[in-house]
Amino acid sequence: MRRAWSRIVAFLDRREPGEALAAYRVLLGLNVLWAVSSVWAPGLVPVLWLQPEDGGMRPLQDGGSWLVGALGGPTPEVVWALVVGTVVASVFLVLGVASRLMALLCLQGFLAVAWINGHAGGSYDNLLTNALWLLVLARSDATASLTCRVRTGAWRQATQVPAWPRWLVALQLVVMYTSTGLQKVSASWVPGGDSSALYYILQQPSWARGDFSWTAHVFPLTQAATLSVWIFEVGAPILLLFLWFRHTRDRPGRLRAACNRLDARSLFVAYGALMHIGIHVTMAVGPFSTVCLAMYACLFSGEEWAAALDRLPGWRGRGPQPAREPATPPPAAPTPPTG
């Protein structure tokens, strides 16, 4: 038991370059900015988040989150303050200024407005706020940030950050996929059924972004896509094994060697990326796909992200490792009395 505990502590104490968490920070901040701006830009803030007397679409029974209630309810002043504040916080999050605080402000601000009207959101809002909470736990502005630029004079710095928040993001992604797949229990999803789920989703105006009646002519392709998505989601826990094999690639084992030789993790990422791009292009599901793709940034280590950025013009090279304070020497032992 002590040996197992020591391994857990060593794993959680592992540090790596901060580029992976920095990429996650930037992508997640852009998601918040897009999610709120997509309501603000077309003038839908009053329609969705205010009472009918202020231009809203429906009576709002309560203030939604605790924050709206504490501020006095969904009045125009409260809602607009939350909208503007969330947008400002998301910009600072992308730039990497006080990232933990900005992630917390984005989380609470977005959660507050998203919960005002239950008819104007979905579970993708919870996915975004969960992802933001994981960012609150991470040191994501150590490099590739305005904070790093001001502190060191360079956009990047050769500093190490705790790696466990990145692993938490990967775990959150796997839990989301697996739970989603297990909830798809109708005959239109599971093997043995007619695999018609994707086809019927694309025929519903509330989901489809356009006219997809033409998919009736390629119905077998939609069946194959439906089945592959279900298998991908239910089988998502295998991603943790692929990540672990990648993390321990210096250890022996035929299965580990085979997975790393094929780079099974990247195959998983490639399918997931294509799936989410397809979902985003064809279906109106809010920031679901873009948040998932932001979380994909954490499926690659800080070393891999640092190496990739080193190949980009203008991002080559990193500042020096910040100097550590010298250890305080122990007090000298007292001189024994003589004589």
Domain boundaries, position 100: 16-149
Residues 172, 130: one domain? no
pTM for this structure? 0.90
Q: CA 145 to CA 131: how far, in whole Å?
A: 19
Residue 229 in this model has a pLDDT that exceeds 80: yes
Residues 180, 273: one domain? yes
Q: What is the pLDDT of residue 123?
A: 85
pLDDT single digits (tens) 188-220: 999 999 999 999 999 999 899 999 999 999 999
Residues 94, 185: one domain? no
Q: CB pairs under 8 A, 24+ apart, for 263-267?
A: 265/239, 265/299
Residue 152 in this model has a pLDDT that exceeds 70: yes
Considering the domain boundaries, does residue 89 fall inside one?
yes
Considering the domain boundaries, does residue 256 fall inside one?
yes
Residue 320 in this model has a pLDDT that exceeds 70: no
| Pick from 138, 161, 142: nearest CA to 294 | 138
Considering the domain boundaries, does residue 145 fall inside one?
yes
Residues 111, 39: one domain? yes
Better pLDDT: 311 or 199: 199
Considering the domain boundaries, does residue 58 fall inside one?
yes
Question: How many structural domains does the chain have?
Answer: 2
Q: Final residue of a domain: which of 149, 177, 197?
A: 149
Q: What is the pLDDT of residue 9?
A: 87
| Pick from 67, 141, 65: nearest CA to 102 | 141
Q: CA 110 to CA 125: how far, in whole Å?
A: 8
pLDDT single digits (tens) 281-291: 999 999 999 99
Residues 176, 111: one domain? no
Considering the domain boundaries, does residue 287 fall inside one?
yes
φ, ψ dihedrals at 73, nearest 5°: 100, 175
Residues 270, 217: one domain? yes
Considering the domain boundaries, does residue 282 fall inside one?
yes
Residues 215, 274: one domain? yes
